[in-house]
């Protein structure tokens, strides 16, 4: 198996699906001959042509809305938002048209919206957001957030083949930083199943996306404690059983995400544990997240806002000592 980057794994997954299924096509701004702002579709225009690699006008509602129309007619569109932040401009089509279509009319909408998300490189308030919680309040949307190259490819394949609208969060800070041995050809990573990133017995860190790597680094050696790290991979549907199983084993939980704090995935996971595993806890569920502020531009400000390795270490130490 060749070692490729997270970004190459996304390209590989998309290319494999497009080669295998002529109904799969991609659309988005600058994705054609230019290959996309991050080069995920580099070479696609040459291989698949302008029809299936549609360089769209700057019109996010038209991109998402046209994807809905094409999807209900039997195609499988994969939309690229240039940055996850710009889904705000196509939000209406996503939450009002795509998300509710099946519930209202029994009409399936198999489409994927790729969302280059996350901060850490001075992108500022409009190129750094982690908008996953926006979608979790909109029933009918599935949300995935891979952290490894293997899952980046496998979850994209699952998202494309799923008969529902799927938001695919690809963290920009993982694009070229993370590499992995990725199988050639087509394979799927199942949605709704978390990955045990590291097994442990003393404490569980629940995370997803780029923060999985932060969690692993931070808990590699905390005074000899055995720390389990869960990579949620899918945020909707959430692997509730997988989370609870780990909580029952370790009895202490830190939930870590880069997105802002209030009403986020961490809040959902914490309340799930409070409702279902209260008796198993040996301490409060602790959240390590960005505070409720926009993501600032200047490096020291951004570092102050995004969860750092030391923040996670400190939270784990405190909880272990509880």
From the CB of 56, what's the least distance to another protein, in Å? Answer: 7
Compute the radius of gyration of the chain from its Cα atoms. Answer: 19
- Tell whether residue 21 is a contact of another protein (CB under 8 A): no
For residues 154 to 193, the per-residue mask of contacts with another protein, x marking binding by CB under 8 A and - elsewhere, is ---------xx-----------------------------
For position 70 contacting another protein by CB under 8 A, the verdict is yes
Q: Where are the alpha helices (DSSP H) in the chain?
A: 6-20, 44-52, 60-72, 91-92, 99-105, 132-136, 149-161, 211-218, 240-250, 265-276, 299-305, 309-321
Per the listing, tokens 């659309």 go with: 27
Least distance CB 50 / another protein (angstroms) = 10
Least distance (Å) from another protein to the CB of residue 81? Answer: 15
Q: Is 137 in the site for another protein (CB under 8 A)?
A: no
Secondary structure element (H or E) that encloses residue 19, with its range: helix 6-20
CB of 85 to another protein, least distance (A): 18
Asked whether position 59 contacts another protein by CB under 8 A, the answer is: yes
Binding flag, residue 140, another protein (CB under 8 A) = yes
Contacts of 39 (CB under 8 A, 6+ apart): 7, 11
Separation of alpha carbons 149 and 11, rounded Å: 11
What phi and psi, each to the nearest 5 degrees, are found at residue 287?
Answer: -105, 135
Which candidate, 250, 226, 234, 229, places its Cα nearest to that of 193?
234
Query: 317 near 287, Cβ under 8 Å?
Result: no
CA neighbours closer than 13 Å in the CB half-sphere of residue 319 = 29
168 Rama class: left (phi>0) / alpha (psi -120 to 50) / beta: beta
- Three-state DSSP class for 117? strand
CB of 277 to another protein, least distance (A): 23
- Residue whose CB is less far from another protein, 51 or 137: 51
Q: Quick check: is 257 catalytic?
A: no
For another protein, give the closer residue by CB, 50 or 304: 50
Pairing of strands 24-28, 76-80: parallel
In terms of phi and psi (left: phi > 0; alpha: psi -120 to 50; beta: otherwise), the region of 180 is: beta
What are the φ/ψ torsions at residue 141 (nearest 5 degrees)?
-105, 140
From residue 262 to residue 301, what is the string marking binding to another protein with x (rule CB under 8 A)? Answer: ----------------------------------------
Decide: is 51 part of the binding site for another protein (CB under 8 A): yes
Least Å distance, CB 294 to another protein, is: 24
- Nearer to another protein by C-beta: 58 or 293? 58
**Residue 102 vs 297, nearer CB to another protein:** 102
Does 64 bind another protein (CB under 8 A)? Our answer is: yes
Q: Hey, is 168 helix, strand or coil?
A: strand
Which are the contacts of 299, defined by CB distance < 8 A and separation ≥ 6? 122
Tell me which of 56, 128, 147, 246 binds another protein, using CB under 8 A.
56
Considering only residues 66, 160, 238, 288, which one is a binding residue for another protein as defined by CB under 8 A? 66
Q: Which of 139, 284, 291, 294 binds another protein (CB under 8 A)?
A: 139
Of residues 123, 117, 129, 116, the one with CA closest to residue 31: 116
Nearer to another protein, 163 or 291 (CB): 163
Q: How far is the CB of 161 from another protein (least distance, A)?
A: 9
Kindly list the catalytic residues: 127
Give the interface with another protein as residue ranges (CB under 8 A). 25, 51-52, 54, 56-57, 59, 61-62, 64-75, 77, 92-93, 96-97, 100-110, 139-140, 142, 163-164
């Amino acid at each position: 198996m060749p070692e490729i980057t997270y970004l190459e794994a996304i390209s590989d997954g998309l290319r494999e699906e497009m080669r295998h299924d002529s109904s799969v096509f991609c659309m988005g701004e600058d994705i054609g001959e230019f290959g996309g702002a991050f080069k995920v579709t580099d070479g696609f225009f040459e291989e698949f042509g302008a029809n299936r690699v549609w360089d769209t006008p700057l019109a996010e509602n038209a991109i998402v809305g046209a994807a809905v129309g094409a999807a209900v007619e039997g195609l499988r569109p994969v939309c690229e938002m240039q940055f996850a932040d710009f889904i705000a401009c196509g939000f209406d089509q996503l939450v009002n048209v795509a998300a509710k279509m099946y519930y209202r009319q029994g009409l399936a909408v198999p489409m994927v919206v790729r969302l280059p998300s996350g901060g850490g490189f001075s992108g500022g308030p409009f190129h750094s957001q982690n908008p996953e919680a926006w979608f979790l309040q909109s029933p009918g949307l599935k949300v995935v957030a891979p952290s490894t190259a293997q899952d980046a490819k496998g979850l994209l394949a699952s998202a494309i083949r799923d008969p529902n609208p799927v938001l695919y969060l690809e963290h920009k800070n993982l694009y070229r930083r993370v590499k992995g041995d990725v199988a050639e050809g087509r394979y799927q990573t199942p949605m709704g199943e978390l990955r045990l990133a590291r097994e442990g017995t003393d404490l569980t860190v629940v995370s997803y996306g780029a923060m999985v790597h932060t969690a692993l680094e931070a808990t590699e050696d905390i005074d000899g404690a055995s720390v389990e790290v869960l990579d949620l991979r899918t945020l909707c549907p959430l692997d509730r059983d997988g989370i609870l199983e780990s909580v029952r084993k370790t009895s202490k939980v830190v939930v870590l995400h880069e997105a802002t704090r209030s009403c986020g995935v961490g809040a959902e996971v914490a309340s799930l544990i409070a409702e279902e595993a209260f008796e198993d806890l040996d301490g409060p569920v602790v959240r390590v997240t960005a505070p409720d502020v926009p993501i600032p531009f200047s490096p020291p400000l951004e570092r102050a806002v995004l969860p750092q390795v030391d923040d996670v270490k400190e939270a784990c130490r405190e909880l272990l000592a509880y």
